[in-house]
C-alpha cells in the first residue's frame, strides 16, 4: 500500500452580530468568526482492505461509506462538490471530521464542516483551494439544506475575518477599531434556519410594505453598527443590538428561551443583547466587557443557557 501524505483543514464558527433575516432581502449584515470553536477535517491513508472513501464523523460516532450516502447527505455533498471542483474521483482515504461548533444553532456549523472538508481534501490532492473557492463550495452545500441562504455563513467561516456582507456582492472586510467581547448563550433548543426563513417569507408575502419597512430599519441599524465598529465606538453597539432584536421580535423569530437569556444578560450589565442567526432557538449574543463578563455569564447560565462561549473578536479574526 502506498504511504499517502496526511492533510487537514479547519474552519471556525461564526456569529451574526447584526442584520440576520433582512440580509436575505438585500440588506447588509455583519458577522464575525468565533475561533473558540472549530470544525476540523483530516485525511489519512486508507487502512488495509479498505475500499472507497470512509468518513469517520467523530462527534456523531458514525462511520460512513461515502459511496453509500445519498446525494443530499451534507458530508457526501461536501466531498462530492470538492472532488468535482478539483476534477478528481473521491480518493480511497479515511476522512475524519470533528467539530466543537454546536450544530443547528446559528454558529455556522454546517458551512464550517464543508469548508474544513474542502480544505483537507484539496490539500491532500496537492491543490489547496483558496478562501474564495472554499466559500463558494460551502455556499453550494448550504443551498441543499437551507433553500435560500444569503451566503453570509460560508463567507465568514471561509475567510475567517469579520465581514460586512450584502447578498450577491463581494464581501467587504470589516476592520474593527477595537476588540469586541461577545458572550454567546445557547438556548439548547435547536431550530432549523430554513423554517424561520420560510416563515419570514410568508409574513413578507402577506404584508410586503410593512415587512420591508422592518428590513430597511434593520439595514439602517447595520450601517450605523458598521461605523461604530470601525471607529471602536463600542458604547454605541449595545443599544443598536437591542434595537435590532426588537425588529427580529416583530418578525416573530424570537422565542421564550431567547427572551429569557436576553433579559438576563441585560439585567446583569450587558450593554446590549439579541438573538443571532435564524432564531426561534439556537444562540443569543450579549455585548460584554472585562468588568461584567463574569456576571453576565453567570446570569445566562442561571437563566437556562446550556452553554456560554466567551469570545474576543479582533480585526484579523480572533
Ligand atoms: O442560523 P444561521 O446562523 O445559519 O443564520 C441564518 C441567517 C439568516 O439571515 C436568517 C439566513 C441567511 O441565509 O442569511
Task: Report yes or no: 182 and 311 within 8 Å, Cβ to Cβ.
Answer: yes
Confidence (pLDDT) at 315: 77
Atom of ligand 1 nearest to the CA of 21: 9
Task: Report yes or no: 41 and 33 within 8 Å, Cβ to Cβ.
Answer: no
Q: Does residue 193 line the site of ligand 1, with CB under 6 A?
A: yes
Q: Does residue 311 line the site of ligand 1, with CB under 6 A?
A: no
Q: How many residues does the chain have?
A: 318
Residue 103's pLDDT band (cuts 50, 70, 90): confident
Atom of ligand 1 nearest to the CA of 149: 13
Confidence (pLDDT) at 193: 82
Task: Measure 155 CA to ligand 1 centroid, in angstroms.
Answer: 12
The three grid cell numbers given for residue 120, joined into one nine-digit string: 483537507
Q: What positions carry a catalytic annotation?
A: 153
Each residue's pLDDT tens digit, 42-69: 999 888 888 899 999 988 788 999 999 9
Each residue's pLDDT tens digit, 162-173: 999 999 898 898
Question: Within 13 Å and on the Cβ side, how many CA atoms surround 89?
Answer: 6
Task: Measure 17 CA to ligand 1 centroid, in angstroms.
Answer: 11
Each residue's pLDDT tens digit, 111-138: 999 999 999 999 999 999 999 999 999 9
Task: Measure 193 CA to ligand 1 centroid, in angstroms.
Answer: 6
Confidence (pLDDT) at 46: 84
* pLDDT over threshold 60, residue 5: no
- Among residues 30, 20, 101, the alpha carbon closest in space to that of 279 is found at 20
Q: Does residue 106 line the site of ligand 1, with CB under 6 A?
A: yes
Atom of ligand 1 nearest to the CA of 106: 3
d(CA 218, CA 18): 8
Amino acid at each position: 500500500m502506498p504511504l499517502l501524505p496526511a492533510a487537514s483543514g479547519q474552519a471556525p464558527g461564526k456569529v451574526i452580530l447584526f442584520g440576520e433575516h433582512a440580509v436575505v432581502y438585500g440588506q447588509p449584515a455583519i458577522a464575525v468568526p468565533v475561533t473558540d470553536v472549530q470544525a476540523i477535517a483530516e485525511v489519512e491513508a486508507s487502512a488495509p482492505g479498505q475500499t472507497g472513501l470512509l468518513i469517520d464523523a467523530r462527534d456523531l460516532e458514525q462511520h460512513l461509506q461515502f459511496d453509500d450516502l445519498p446525494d443530499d447527505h451534507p458530508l457526501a455533498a461536501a466531498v462530492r462538490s470538492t472532488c468535482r471542483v478539483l476534477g478528481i474521483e473521491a480518493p480511497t482515504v479515511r476522512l475524519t471530521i470533528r467539530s466543537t461548533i454546536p450544530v443547528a444553532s446559528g454558529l455556522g456549523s454546517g458551512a464550517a464542516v464543508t469548508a474544513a472538508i474542502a480544505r483537507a481534501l484539496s490539500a491532500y490532492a496537492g491543490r489547496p483551494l483558496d478562501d474564495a473557492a472554499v466559500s463558494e463550495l460551502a455556499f453550494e452545500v448550504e443551498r441543499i439544506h437551507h433553500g435560500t441562504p444569503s451566503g453570509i455563513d460560508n463567507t465568514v467561516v471561509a475567510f475567517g475575518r469579520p465581514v460586512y456582507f450584502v447578498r450577491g456582492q463581494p464581501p467587504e472586510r470589516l476592520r474593527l477599531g477595537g476588540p469586541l467581547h461577545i458572550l454567546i448563550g445557547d438556548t439548547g433548543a435547536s431550530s432549523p434556519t430554513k423554517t424561520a426563513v420560510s416563515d419570514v417569507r410568508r409574513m413578507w408575502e402577506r404584508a410586503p410594505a410593512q415587512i420591508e419597512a422592518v428590513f430597511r430599519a434593520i439595514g439602517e441599524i447595520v450601517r450605523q453598527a458598521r461605523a461604530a465598529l470601525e471607529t471602536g465606538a463600542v458604547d454605541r453597539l449595545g443599544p443598536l443590538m437591542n434595537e435590532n432584536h426588537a425588529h427580529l421580535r416583530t418578525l416573530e423569530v424570537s422565542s421564550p428561551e431567547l427572551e429569557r437569556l436576553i433579559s438576563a444578560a441585560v439585567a446583569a450589565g450587558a450593554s446590549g443583547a439579541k438573538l443571532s442567526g435564524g432564531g426561534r432557538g439556537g444562540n443569543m449574543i450579549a455585548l460584554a466587557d472585562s468588568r461584567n463578563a463574569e456576571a453576565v455569564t453567570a446570569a445566562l447560565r442561571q437563566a437556562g443557557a446550556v452553554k456560554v462561549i466567551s469570545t474576543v473578536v479582533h480585526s484579523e479574526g480572533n
